[in-house]
Amino acid sequence: MRKLFGTDGVRGTANTYPMTAEMALRIGAAVGRYFRREAGGVHRVVIGKDTRLSGYMFENALTAGLTSTGMNVLLLGPVPTPAVGLLTRSMRADLGVMISASHNPAPDNGIKFFGPDGFKLSDEAEAEIEALIETGVQPAQATNIGRARRIDDARFRYGERVKSSLPRDLRLDGLKVVIDCAHGAAYRAAPDILWELGADVIPMGVAPDGLNINAGCGSTKPQAAAERVVAEGAHMGICLDGDADRVIVIDETGAVADGDQIMALLASRWAAEDRLSGGALVATVMSNLGLERHLAGQGLRLERTGVGDRYVVERMRAGGFNLGGEQSGHIVMTDFATTGDGLMAGLHVLAEMVRTGQPASALSRLFEPVPQLLKNVRYGAGEQPLDAPRVRAVIAAAEAGLIGRGRLLIRKSGTEPLIRVMAECEDEALLLSTVDGIVAAVAEAATD
């Protein structure tokens, strides 16, 4: 069982366990030893980060831990998470590390890992690393300590890979695009790539100060970008999160399209071109029932997984599928990338606009979502509110009430101390009463 790792690496508030400099050093040493189990040869790790103030602290602590076990460290600076997956593989590294808490606020931070193939580590690998953290590792001899160096062109290498996922003759001339980078990792790469492809770029969230990442902007707060799209008469808006592995699209009217609508568009197009592997899209249990019905109407399947883009990718690799993602905006195209890439997905939507001549509003509303409601309940350390008999009884009654009418999903967040209560039902009154009843029961149990 993993205790330190959640659904996407280690995450928490900076300078609070487990996100302390001391723990980062221990994590670095443990993961360095795990990937350097065989003596001899050159061993290297690439480290990227987003723009959080605490990134400096964790970058240095991880570097110290990794070099202490003989790993050579290549420091990429601020780059999107998918760039770390890409460069881990292209630079023949043994390991990739991304320092980011994704869409979380600036005081939080996290550490996630990629194996030499550029894909995120399995639960089993993370459990073995946790065991090494607990027991400690033997450092390398003084003459075998690793070195560290800066890589200055990481974002340019990433940019070339992103552009290569599009047809060589594709240009975005004449398209006005708002790009909201959430003051995060893509604040330089994303506007540059759009400009290089010919778009008229209106950048937002491109002035990081270490404390403003995701603050009132980005994929979790797209309202400001939506207003800017309308005010500027833009053709589309692209909202990224802090590490740019997820995306939300805004059409020319200011309407927001989530990951489900983006996946519907790409799956439909790829199926028409006979390049949707396995005739299926992989998504999590959070994706809307409307998406599943839309795909079924085209003879396509929706393969569901647990929440977390890592589990989506694992299912894609196991089943030979090449398109997947999450409602939150992680879009994974394994023909081109090893993890979710928000900018790449946004570019593929723009490519469809160029190919079809249709506006974003026609391409990002392919199905009518079934009404869905999600509410979160925060709980304290050591509490297990879902185990309370009263909560279990309320959940059982809710499930019985939704049979044949909708579905219910209740889970613990893998990154925060939250119970997430989600339901779908076309009867909106029943939907609201179902979710509110469970939330009230969980909240009561969490305060007992």
In percent, the amount of the chain with pLDDT more than 70 equals 98
Which fold is adopted by the domain 10-152?
Answer: Alpha-D-Glucose-1,6-Bisphosphate; Chain A, domain 3 (3.40.120)
User: Is residue 125 packed enough to be buried (19+ CB in 10 Å), middle (13-18) or exposed (0-12)?
Assistant: middle
Using CA atoms, how far residue 196 sits from 124, 320, 422, in Å, is 41, 33, 41
Query: What is the pLDDT, as a whole number, of residue 176?
Result: 98
If you average pLDDT over residues 44-69, what whole number do you get?
A: 98
The answer to whether 201 and 260 have CB atoms below 8 angstroms apart is no
Partners of 11 in the β-ladder? 110
Count of beta carbons in the 10 Å neighbourhood of residue 381:
5
Q: Which residues are catalytic?
A: 102
Check residue 168 and give its pLDDT: 93
d(CA 282, CA 324) in angstroms, rounded, equals 4
Contacts of 448 (CB under 8 A, 6+ apart): 388
Domains of the chain by residue range:
10-152, 372-447
Mind listing the pLDDT tens digit for each residue in 361-374? 999 999 999 999 99
Place of tokens 């998504």: 283
Tokens of 67: 């070099």
Backbone angles phi, psi at 233, to 5 degrees: 65, 35
Predicted confidence band at 86 (pLDDT cuts at 50, 70, 90)? Answer: very high
Spell out where 251-348 has E strands.
256-257, 280-284, 301-305, 323-325, 331-333
Which tokens is 290 given? 């409307």
pLDDT of residue 380: 86
Collapsed DSSP state (helix, strand, coil) of residue 11: strand
Mean pLDDT confidence for 189-203: 98
Burial class (CB in 10 A: 0-12, 13-18, 19+), 274: exposed
**Mean of pLDDT values over 209-227:** 97
Q: Do residues 130 and 31 touch, judged by C-beta distance below 8 A?
A: no
Assess whether pLDDT exceeds 70 at residue 1: no
What sign has the CA pseudo-torsion 169, 170, 172, 173? positive
> Token digits for 413?
């967040």
Please state, in angstroms and as integers, the Cα–Cα distance from residue 63 to each residue in 27, 147, 183, 303, following that order. 10, 9, 25, 39
Question: Taking residues 48-63, what's their average pLDDT?
Answer: 98
pLDDT in tens, 289-325: 999 999 999 999 999 999 889 999 999 999 999 999 9
Whether the upstream peptide bond of residue 107 has omega within 30° of 0, thus cis, is no
CA-to-CA distance for 130 and 389, rounded, in angstroms? 33
Q: Which residues contact 83 (CB under 8 A, 6 or more apart)?
A: 48, 76, 154, 155, 157, 158, 189
Tell me how crowded residue 36 is: count the other CB atoms within 10 A of its CB.
23
Give the model confidence (pLDDT) of 94-103 as tens digits. Answer: 999 999 999 9
372-447 folds as TATA-Binding Protein (3.30.310)
How far is residue 223 from each of residues 27, 227, 255, 315, measured CA to CA in Å?
38, 6, 9, 33
pLDDT at 38: 61
In Å, how far are 1, 124, 130, 308, 320 from 313, measured between CA atoms? 21, 15, 22, 9, 10
Q: What would the two tokens of residue 358 be?
A: 């249709």
CA distances in angstroms from 344 to 87, 143, 147, 200, 212, listed in the order given: 16, 43, 33, 17, 24
C-alpha span between 47 and 44 (Å, rounded): 10
Alpha helices in 382-424 (DSSP H): 389-402
pLDDT band at 39 (very low <50, low <70, confident <90, very high): low
